[in-house]
Every structure is written in structure tokens, then in C-alpha cells.
Amino acid sequence: MFTVNEDLTRKIAHLARLHLTEDEVKTFTSQLREIINYIELLEEVNVSGVKPLTHPFELETPMREDKISHYPKTNEGKSKILDSAPEILYDSFKVPSIISGE
């Protein structure tokens, strides 16, 4: 198996794109250890042959007609969507640059 230690917490936090302070790493590691110990209770359940249930009613995904429609329908609608973004440029979401200039 594995041990829940501070390195694991840091690794998982990195995967989740969360910055943790050293204090948080410490607290979360001990809480995570306790919670994971608790959820290991599930190991005693015999699940062989049981199909996983991911949704209470296992509905079929409803399909819509394959037709292009525009959302938002108006410029006003567009600006309402952009309004909550921290930075916009040319009517678009501004994202940080991911390719270096060199």
C-alpha cells in the first residue's frame, strides 16, 4: 500500500493546482490520514461482481438534434458572460501566455 505523508499531500495538491502553506500541508496530511483510514472500512465489503453505480437512476443521455445554435444569442448576452471574468481582451477571455516568446 502507501503511506499518507506530507509528500503525498504536496503531490496531490499539485495535481489539483492548489497552493498549500507549510501549515496547511501539515494539517491536511494528518486529517487526510485520518479520513483515508476511515474510508478504508470499505475494504471489508465484498464487491465482487457488483457493477459500479455512478448515478442513482442510470438514465440514458438525452440527445438533441445535431444543429448549430449560437449562445449567447446577442452581444448583450456575450458581455454578460464576459463581465465576471477577471480580464478580457477583444471580446474574449484573456488567458496567461503558455508559449514563451523565445
Partner 1 sequence: MVDLYNNIKQIHEAYNKKLISPIELTKDYFQKIKASKHNAYLTLCEERAMQQAKKADQILVQTGQVPHDRFPLLGIPIGIKDVLTIEGVRTTCASRMLEHYIPPYTATSVLRLEAAGAIVLGKLNMDEFAMGSSNENSAFGPVLHPTHHDRVPGGSSGGSATAVKANLCIAALGTDTGGSVRLPASYCGIVGMKPTYGTISRFGLVAFASSLDQVGPLANTVEDVAKLLDVMAGHDPSDSTSLRTQKINYTDLIQTKYDLKNLKIGVPNEYFMGGLQPGVDSSVHSALKWCETQGAKLISVNLPHTKYAVAVYYIIAVSEASSNLARYDSVRFGVRYPDKAEQDLVEFYKKARSLFGAEVKRRIILGTFSLSSGYYDAYYKRACQVRRLIQQDFDKAFKEVDVILSPVSPTTAFKIGEKTSDPLQMYLMDIFTIPVNLAGLPALSVPCGKDNEGLPIGLHMIGPAFGDGKLLAIANAFEKGFRINHG
Among 41, 65, 70, 91, binds partner 1 (CB under 8 A): 41
State which of positions 42-81 bind partner 1 (CB under 8 A).
42-43, 45, 47, 50-57, 59, 61-62, 72, 77, 80-81
The overall longest dimension of the chain from CA atoms, in Å, is 57
Give the Å distances, CA to CA, from 82 to 34, 55, 68, 95.
42, 33, 22, 13
Instruction: Please give the residue ranges that form the binding site for partner 1 (CB under 8 A).
Output: 2, 8-9, 12-20, 24, 28, 31-32, 34-36, 38-39, 41-43, 45, 47, 50-57, 59, 61-62, 72, 77, 80-81, 83-87, 93-96, 98
